[in-house]
Structure 1
Amino acid sequence: MNKRTVKLLSSTVIFSLLLVGFVLNTAFSKKTERDYYQIKIYTIENESQEKRMDDYLKNAFIPAMHRAGIAGVGVFKPREGEELSGKRIFVLIPYKDAGEFAGIPGILDKDAKYLKDGKEYIEAAHDNAPYQRIESILLRSFSATPAFHVPEYSTSPSERIYELRSYQGATERYYERKVEMFNVGEADLFIKLGFQPILFGEVISGPDMPNLMYLTTYSDTASHVDHWNAFRDSEEWTKMKTIEKYKNTVSGSDKYLLYPSDYSDF
């Protein structure tokens, strides 16, 4: 491969990343009202529970949510080799507002098809539950990124990486500064570099408050590595991380490397 070809390929890659960033930035900026998101994390202990959860989510829950007008329900699992592989199922549900979130249980209770299709899950015996515990986290989107984004990839679901991160603050003040950091530039940098983020959100109810969470996506492992290298090496991040008021804004963090199930909406 000669130098001219290398330059051409490099220019093509850079142009592609900028184009993706422009499209995503346009999509995020169209909406001003802020979305709400629920992340439900099911703890399971064996393959039997995983199979039962898959059956419920695929054949009862997701179709019922679609009938209720909720599109884009994501179901993700920890990638092979991750500590929580085979032990957790993550379900992401987007809502247009808090009222829609509050109204869903009542809608499901009146959905005869859901009650029929989900009977094995709904009426499970106390000593034969389909899961061990459920953790529910409610988020509101950042003001800078109010819209929910559905990524598009040609790679198979098992190849993709959906990275869910949680940043905890030592106090509310430090947490608020980290949210501000995202709103004034960090979120835009992710979008500009083509990370295809699904959401950025303030946690308004959850076990690790005060904290924020965000979900970025990648077509495969190589894409994951390349994007994070681009982020760390960017001029914007180099400047941003040295701003005095944004120092010490993250006291702890959690990272989950996930992949979408074959029945996930995205």
Structure 2
Amino acid sequence: MQRRKFVASMIAGAGVGLAMKGGEMQAQESSSMEFYQLRKYTLRTGPQQEITGKFFEHAMIPALNRLGISTVGAFKLDIGPETPTLYLLLPSTSAETLLTVDLRLAHDSKFVEAAQDFWNAPASAPAFERVETSMLSAFTGWPKLVVPKHEKRIFQLRTYENASYGAHVTKVKMFNEAEIGIFTKSGLAPVFFGSTLVGSRTPSLTYMLTFPDVATLNQNWSTFVADPAWKEISHRPEYADAKIVSNISNLYLSPLPSSQI
């Protein structure tokens, strides 16, 4: 009971804070919007990648599905500053479920048995270097994760760090009111958009796009940049990147065999 009250107070506190900064999230959870937990597993070259990949496939993702967390994304970083790195994306309409997922996993006997090699790896041969976890709330303009067709895909994961909380709200507003629509018209197929509630780089937002290949990615971004609607909105003084975006992280990912996205 105390744990539930604590988690509820965290959710409410985050919601009130965001409401004061633009109304992107209400104090109560809503079935019409999602939350996301994004996990980054930093590894070393060698056996860690295989151990962690098997942990995802045989232990973590099946256990998450038993908890009601479906369409779990599992990805390998192909182009970015730190390789090897793996990512997990956990979507849920319940922030409490995501916040308490590790406590719940520890009580799942099937998970504990399947996770032995990863979960109890010795300090002399660790299964990973570090795990960084972020919690995000979906944009009102894209409230649910969209799963692409199960065919050969690549994914682009982009994070925009904002110079201030006011700048963060302005950038989210820009996406909700115009930019998401221009994305979809240009062939930039979104998977999710999320404002960072808890993470290492705040204020910030993260979104994921998907493409059949890098050539299509480049072509569709060129279409977006040339779109008259994008040119108009991006030249508005209040939406100038120099005012509202301080840094952009741009990663190319490919799905692991265990990925449900």
For the criterion TM > 0.5, the same-fold answer is yes
Residue type at the aligned position of 2:255: P
CA distance in 2, matches of 1:253, 1:83: 13
Q: Shift in Å at residue 193 of structure 1?
A: 2.6
- 2:112 match: secondary structure: helix
CA distance in 1, matches of 2:163, 2:81: 26
Q: Shift in Å at residue 153 of structure 1?
A: 4.6
Normalised by the length of structure 2, the TM-score is: 0.84
Q: How many residues align?
A: 230
Aligned twin of 2:233: 240
| % identical aligned pairs | 28
Q: Shift in Å at residue 52 of structure 1?
A: 0.6
Aligned twin of 1:68: 67
**Of 181, 205, 225, which residue of structure 2 is paired with 1:188?**
181
Cα deviations across residues 76-102 of structure 1 (Å, max 9, x unaligned)? 1122x64433x2111111111212213
Alignment of 1:112-191 (within 5 A): 112-155=109-152, 160-191=153-184
Aligned twin of 1:260: 255
CA distance in 2, matches of 1:183, 1:264: 28
CA distance in 2, matches of 1:55, 1:179: 36
- 2:134 match: secondary structure: strand
Aligned twin of 2:44: 45
- 2:168 match: secondary structure: helix
Aligned twin of 1:208: 201
Q: Shift in Å at residue 105 of structure 1?
A: 2.4
Residue type at the aligned position of 1:84: E
- 1:204 match: secondary structure: strand
RMSD: 1.5
Normalised by the length of structure 1, the TM-score is: 0.82
Unaligned runs of 5+ in 2: 1-29
CA distance in 2, matches of 1:122, 1:203: 27
CA distance in 2, matches of 1:72, 1:245: 37
CA distance in 2, matches of 1:154, 1:52: 25
CA distance in 1, matches of 2:204, 2:54: 32
CA distance in 1, matches of 2:141, 2:252: 25
**Of 57, 82, 85, which residue of structure 2 is paired with 1:84?**
82
Do 1:37 and 1:95's aligned partners in 2 also have CA atoms closer than 8 Å? Answer: yes
- 1:197 match: secondary structure: strand
Say whether residues 1:94 and 2:91 are aligned partners: yes
- 1:198 match: secondary structure: strand
Cα deviations across residues 160-193 of structure 1 (Å, max 9, x unaligned)? 3200001111111111111111111111221233
Cα deviations across residues 214-238 of structure 1 (Å, max 9, x unaligned)? 0000011121111101110111111
CA distance in 2, matches of 1:265, 1:135: 21
Residue type at the aligned position of 1:195: L
- 2:89 match: secondary structure: strand
Say whether residues 1:229 and 2:222 are aligned partners: yes
Residue type at the aligned position of 2:135: L
Unaligned runs of 5+ in 1: 1-30
Residue type at the aligned position of 2:46: E
